[in-house]
Structure 1
Amino acid sequence: MKASLKVFYLLCTFAGIVFVPYLGAWICFDGHFEHTYFQYPPLIAPVKPGFSLPIFVGVAIIFGIIALVYLVPSLFGFKKVKALPLNEPKNGKFPTWFWAGLLMWGGTLLVLWGKFSEPRWIIMWADLPLFWGFALMMDGWVYKRTGGTSIISRSAQEMIAIGVASVSGWLIFEYLNFFVDDNWIYPAGELIPDNQFTIYAVVGSAGLMPLAFEWYALFITFDGLKNRFADGPKLTMPPWLGNLLLIISFILLFFIAFYPDTLFTLLWVIPLLVISIVLEKLEIWTPFNLVRSGNWSSVLLFALAYLVQGFLLEFWNYFSATHENGQIITQTPAYWAYSVPYINVYHVFEMPALGLMGYLPFGIYCIIWWIVFAYLLNIPSQFTSAKHLE
């Protein structure tokens, strides 16, 4: 298949993800949306259904099974792979950008957690130094462990490009959030004008995906972790199943505005599922190709990367506000909170405990989105083939 035709199919896929839920919502509301339906940032969410024990137990079981895959992979057919000696650093020194990142991240966190009202420019744009500072620290850690090899040391331009890709990759979720009646909101978003918040969201979201790649890069420096999932079940998706899942996914996207409380979890699954299947059909490499030979390392470690980073994001976010009598008091416009149906109990900071599971598919989505972005713009990348695991 010609590259130009592949590009066309990919663009059609993105158009479908964007326009199908809008079409469904337009029909659902007979073309008359409430004035707050597409409000950005969402400040208040509609009332959601309360706790449901059967749904909570069902989701908890799924989360438990996933946890067992990581903790006891042999239960799922993974075999032990002889680990090679760890890559020890040659000089044991952190690079310059590690210390720059520590200053950016630590200084920003100090301002946020100290509840300071100044300097306003840090408070108003906190996500930028917070996310990128931590990414620089992580990259420096990888550089130290490998004796001088990291994403930035190999190609700083690639890290910047991943940041650019992160903007469009994340804003898809901000868009789909409208159709599930705002699973997350920004209760302090009114601290700045809406148009300024949008700029803030675009700039800040550039740091989200690089964090996934840095955690992943760190994970594969540990041979025991890298090889833990390298010899597992060999799975191949037959073409008919891919076609069926594509059809079902777009049907669910169409009806997501009709049943936002029932289908709210699909927000984190469908973009990953649809794009991955299309890439498979276009014969563009993804980490799922390795699953055919039983190597689940990339898939499971990218998922784990954002489960870890997601916990940290919730941690940083929660303590940037004061919580008094159920009220959130913060100077940070990007502070987020959640409003989800059925499982909104046992919180890990602001996040319902079972909601952390959404970070798993998002971690895999990060590498899939980057592969698409790199392919469309013909950007060389170490992550668009299995060579980065060698």
Structure 2
Amino acid sequence: MLNYSSVKASLEDLVIFRDERLPVRRIPLREKPLRRYFLPYRGLLGLLLIAIAWPLSQQITQNVFFPLWLGFILVVDGFVLRRTATSLLVRSPKIMAVMFILPYWWLFEGINQITQNWVYVGTKTDEGLISYFEATLSYSTVIPVVFEVSELVGSFGFIERFARLRAFVLSKRQMIFTSIFGVVSLAAMLIWPTYLFPLTWLSLFFIFDPINSLTGRPSIISQMRKGDYRIAVAFALGALVCGFFWEMWNRDASVAWEYNIGYLDFARIFEMPLLGYGGYLPFGLETYAVFHFVAGVLGWSSEAKISLRGEPRVSSA
């Protein structure tokens, strides 16, 4: 026969996460600290934001993209903390704030003015400061969510397989050529967008990652030179996971976007054509490269780290 104590213990086992590496929760005026739970408070807050914002996104004409994705960021950060006993928000709140502030996605909105690969529906017709602020607030979640999900991907054991592979070595001249090629590919894409629009998701990586490597900043090329492909794999898959949620939450939203990608426009999953998901893989790499270029200029690259499985345990990212 079940008694109260056994039922309570069983329920606690479902939600309590026992890991001595994690900080113990303390509440003022409470004699004993609370035990460690399934998610830290930020993760629970994130779940609450998602539970509120997701249904609202389908029912109202106001843009709730920011609270929805802020909730997702908090949930992922909570899971990373649970799995690794550290997280980006714990290690460097300043870097997280910079990620939100950088107007990164506006680069792609500018490119899209020429390529016309996506259009927004359900948005307000006015183009005043309020609309600009709402859009900027929504776009601000892009870098943080890519970094957070990439760190979560990097916490799984399979990532260790990519820590010691064959080195991919580029000479200084080759890296300079790669950066120049990135500039040329970006220019060519803007001139012939109908055919070269996929370069939107490659050219920025070719431009900035070699520069990062040459200037001693964290870069994917530098990691691959040592045979370490974990960063590349984590950010490629991390962006792909983000892409799945972007498209899923976009499908039935009142304020949404629709695609027009020409010869690749077939076999849609949600609103995105199947081959379009391939663009998320290099998008993760160029997000990494562009952020570290800016962080390097500010002198903060060394503080932007993500935890990866394998040796060394924490890698500059």
Tell me which interval the TM-score lies in, with the shorter structure as reference length.
Answer: 0.7 to 0.9
1:107, CA displacement in angstroms?
Answer: 0.5
Alignment partner of 1:342 out of 241, 263, 276: 263
Q: For 1:173, which of 104, 108, 127 is the aligned residue? A: 108
SS in 2 for 1:342: helix
**Structure 1 position 308 matched with structure 2 position 241:** yes
2-structure distance, mates of 1:221, 1:279? 25
Residue 13 of structure 1 is matched in structure 2 by: none
User: Where does residue 121 of structure 2 map in the other structure?
Assistant: 187
Q: Secondary structure at the match of 2:86?
A: coil
Give the aligned residue type for 1:101. Answer: G
The alignment of Structure 1 onto Structure 2 pairs a total of residues equal to 279
Quote the RMSD (CA, aligned, Å): 2.3
1:155 maps onto 2:88 in alignment: no
Query: Which residue identity lines up with residue 150 of structure 2 in the other structure?
Result: Y
1:126 equivalenced with 2:64 (yes/no):
yes
Structure 1 runs (4+) greater than 4 angstroms displaced: 384-387
User: Structure 2 matches for 1:215-254, cutoff 5 A?
Assistant: 215-222=149-156, 224-254=157-187
The alpha-carbon deviation at position 387 of structure 1 amounts to 6.6
Between the aligned partners of 2:237 and 2:299, the Cα distance in structure 1 is 28
Write the distance in 2 (CA, Å) between the matches of 1:107 and 1:126. 10
**Correspondence list, 1:219-368, <5 A:** 219-222=153-156, 224-320=157-253, 330=254, 332=255, 335-368=256-289
Distance verdict in 2 for CA 1:129–1:275, change over 3 Å = same
Asked if structure 1 preserves the Cα contact closer than 8 Å seen for 2:88 and 2:305, the reply is no
Q: Relative contact order (C-alpha < 8 Å, sep 6+): which is higher? A: 1
Give runs of aligned pairs for residues 1-12 of structure 1, distance below 5 A.
Answer: none
Give how far 1:281 is off. Answer: 2.5
Shift of 1:255: 3.1
Q: For 2:83 and 2:136, how far apart are their aligned partners in 1?
A: 32
Tell me if structure 1 keeps the 8 A contact 2:40–2:78: yes
Contact 2:201 2:283 in 1 (8 A): yes
Paired residues of 1:88 and 1:145 also in contact (CA < 8 A)? no
**Paired residue type of 2:19:** P
Contact 2:306/2:315, CA 8 A, preserved across alignment: no
Contact 2:87 2:306 in 1 (8 A): no
Equivalences for residues 46-195 of structure 1 within 5 A: 89-90=19-20, 91-113=36-58, 116-117=59-60, 123-146=61-84, 148-165=85-102, 167=103, 169-180=104-115, 182-189=116-123, 191-195=124-128
Contact 1:179 1:260 in 2 (8 A): yes
- In structure 2, the CA distance between the partners of 1:219 and 1:89, relative to structure 1 (3 Å rule), is farther
Aligned equivalents of 1:96 and 1:317: distance in 2? 27
* 2:193 aligned partner, one-letter code: P
Structure 1 alignment gaps of length 5 or more: 1-86, 118-122, 321-329
Q: Aligned partners of 2:193 and 2:199: how far apart in 1?
A: 10
Alpha-carbon deviation of 1:206? Answer: 0.8
Report SS of the residue matched to 2:191: coil
1:212 Cα offset (Å): 1.2
How far has the Cα of 1:241 moved from its partner?
A: 2.6
Report SS of the residue matched to 1:232: coil
Question: Deviation digits for residues 234-265 of structure 1, max 9, x if unmatched?
Answer: 11112333333333333333333431111111
Q: Is the 8 A contact 1:371 1:384 kept in 2?
A: no
Q: Percent identity?
A: 26
Q: 1:192 offset after TM fit, Å?
A: 4.2
Residue 146 of structure 2 is aligned to residue 209 of structure 1: no
* Distance (whole Å) between structure 1 residues aligned to residue 92 and residue 38 of structure 2: 20
Aligned AA (1:172): L
Matches of 1:238 and 1:377 in 2, distance apart?
26
Question: Which shifted more, 280-289 or 347-356?
Answer: 280-289
Shift in Å at residue 384 of structure 1? 8.7
Note if contact 1:269-1:361 (Cα within 8 Å) is conserved in structure 2: yes
The CA deviation at 1:273 is 0.8
